[in-house]
């Protein structure tokens, strides 16, 4: 049985990719089961999805803790979630990155496929939905299913132009994916590079940790009291795919962009103009829409 775990953010289509892969496998006469796991539904929150493929009926309905393959749809997840948790020895990794893929290799990883999926998705689909792109890279790395059956699964799922564009994205990723096997490069790292901890800055050693850590009940404060405003540690800027750009000549400093920002990401500078706090701006575009003089427009953010 082949077990594949997908990591994505809500809205990127991790659940759909697991389902498409299962559909393609079923079309080839295999047995497959796909299902997601997520908390409260939100666009942008980390989501995982699971797919099991086998020659006999799949009866397991549990989440996948020791996957053969891990597919990561979003580069920002490396620092947010332990994506390689439980990955089997000689397992495979399919990632979305614009960086040099060799640095992601580590001992125990058999092979890796890297593709700049965000760019491909932006160029073809005009939005950073990377699911079908990474499926292309996955089938290039491992012939889990045939490309043709994956394409027909995509065509069954979507219709018209959206289906065509997704097939195009899938094929391009199949062409462009960079494959690295354990024998190809010298591997120095014992753990994935994104798990290596940078030495803490001075004075910041005891900073509260990320949400994915486990807590013992003895470590909780009475009443679970936490620091006020501590979500400021959580930089939501990486949810963004478009970026508000301000033309100062047209700005009359009315402050509507600041008032209507859901994330308090418009900040007034000492000169009276407003600037965007890129740490928190989620790129919703309300400020551009509501600006009475049209001084703000949204631009695609390519440096993701």
Partner 1 sequence: MSDANVYAVKTLTSKEYFAPGHRACSGCGQAVAVRMVQKALGRNIVMASATGCMEVVSSPFPQSSWEVPWIHVAFENAAAVASGIEAGLKAQRRKGKIDGRKITVVAMAGDGGTADIGLQALSGALERGHDFLYVCYDNEAYMNTGVQRSSATPFGAVTTTSPAGRVNSGQLTWKKNMMRITAAHDIPYAATASPSHPLDLVEKVKKGMETEGPAYLHVLSPCPPGWGIAAEDSIQLARLAVETGIFPLYEIDKGKHRITMNLEKLVPVKQYLKKQGRFRRLSPEMMEEIQERVCKEWQELREKAEQIDPSAGADEALSKEQEGETEAAKIFRVKAGAPV
Contact 115, 135 (CB under 8 A): no
Convert residues 110-149 into a mask of x (bound to partner 1 by CB under 8 A) and - (unbound): ----------------------------------------
Which helix (H) or strand (E) is 250 found in, with range?
A: none
Which helix (H) or strand (E) is 180 found in, with range?
A: strand 178-181
- The contacts of residue 228 (CB under 8 Å, 6+ apart) are none
Q: Per CB under 8 A, does 259 bind partner 1?
A: yes
Q: Per CB under 8 A, does 286 bind partner 1?
A: yes
Pairing of strands 31-37, 274-276: unpaired
Size of the site for partner 1 (CB under 8 A): 52
**Which residues in 172-231 contact partner 1 (CB under 8 A)?**
208-209, 211, 215, 224, 226-231
Give the integer Cα–Cα distance in Å for 196 and 199. Answer: 9
Give the integer Cα–Cα distance in Å for 5 and 201. Answer: 34
Site stretch for partner 1 (CB under 8 A), options 83-91, 137-145, 173-181, 263-271? 263-271
Tell me whether residue 193 or residue 252 sits nearer to partner 1 (CB atom): 252
- The contacts of residue 166 (CB under 8 Å, 6+ apart) are 125, 132, 154, 158
Out of 2, 28, 37, 45, name the contact with partner 1 by CB under 8 A.
45
Place of tokens 């013992």: 216
Out of 147, 165, 251, 256, name the contact with partner 1 by CB under 8 A.
256
- Least distance from partner 1 to the Cβ atom of residue 46, Å: 10
Tell me whether residue 60 or residue 254 sits nearer to partner 1 (CB atom): 254
Out of 107, 250, 289, 300, name the contact with partner 1 by CB under 8 A.
289
- Least distance from partner 1 to the Cβ atom of residue 199, Å: 23
Site stretch for partner 1 (CB under 8 A), options 59-67, 82-90, 114-122, 232-240? 232-240
DSSP per-residue string spanning 78-140: HHHS-TTTTPPTTEEEEEE-SS-GGGG--TTEEEEEEE-HHHHHHHHTSS---HHHHHHHHHH
Contact 288, 296 (CB under 8 A): yes
Tell me whether residue 52 or residue 282 sits nearer to partner 1 (CB atom): 282
Which residues contact partner 1 (rule: CB under 8 A)? 39-45, 208-209, 211, 215, 224, 226-236, 239-240, 252-256, 258-265, 268, 277, 279-280, 282-286, 288-290, 292, 298
């Amino acid at each position: 049985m082949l077990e594949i775990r997908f990591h994505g953010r809500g809205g990127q289509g991790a659940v759909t990719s697991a389902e498409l892969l299962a559909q393609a496998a079923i079309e080839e006469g295999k047995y497959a089961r796909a299902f997601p796991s997520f908390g409260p539904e939100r666009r942008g929150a980390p989501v995982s999805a699971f797919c099991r493929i086998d020659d006999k009926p799949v009866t397991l309905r549990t989440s996948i803790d020791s996957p053969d393959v891990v597919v990561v749809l979003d580069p920002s997840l490396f620092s947010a979630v332990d994506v390689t948790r439980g990955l089997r020895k000689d397992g495979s990794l399919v990632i979305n990155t614009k960086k040099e893929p060799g640095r992601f290799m580590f001992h125990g990883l058999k092979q890796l496929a890297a593709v700049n999926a965000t760019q491909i998705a932006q160029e073809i689909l005009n939005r950073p939905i990377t699911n079908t792109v990474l499926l292309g890279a996955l089938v290039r790395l491992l012939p889990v299913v045939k490309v043709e059956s994956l394409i027909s699964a995509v065509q069954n799922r979507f219709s018209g132009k959206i289906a065509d564009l997704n097939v195009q994205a899938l094929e391009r990723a199949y062409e462009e994916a960079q494959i690295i096997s354990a024998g190809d490069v010298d591997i120095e790292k014992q753990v994935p590079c994104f798990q290596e901890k940078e030495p803490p800055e001075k004075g910041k050693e005891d900073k509260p940790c990320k949400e994915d850590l486990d807590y013992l009940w003895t470590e909780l404060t009475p009443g679970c009291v936490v620091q006020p405003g501590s979500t400021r540690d959580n930089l939501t800027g990486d949810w963004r795919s478009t970026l508000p750009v301000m033309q100062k000549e047209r700005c009359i400093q009315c402050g509507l962009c600041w008032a209507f920002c859901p994330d308090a990401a418009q900040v007034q500078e000492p000169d009276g103009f407003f600037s965007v706090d890129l740490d928190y701006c989620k790129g919703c575009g309300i400020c551009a829409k509501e600006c009475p003089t049209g001084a703000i427009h949204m631009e695609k953010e390519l440096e993701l």
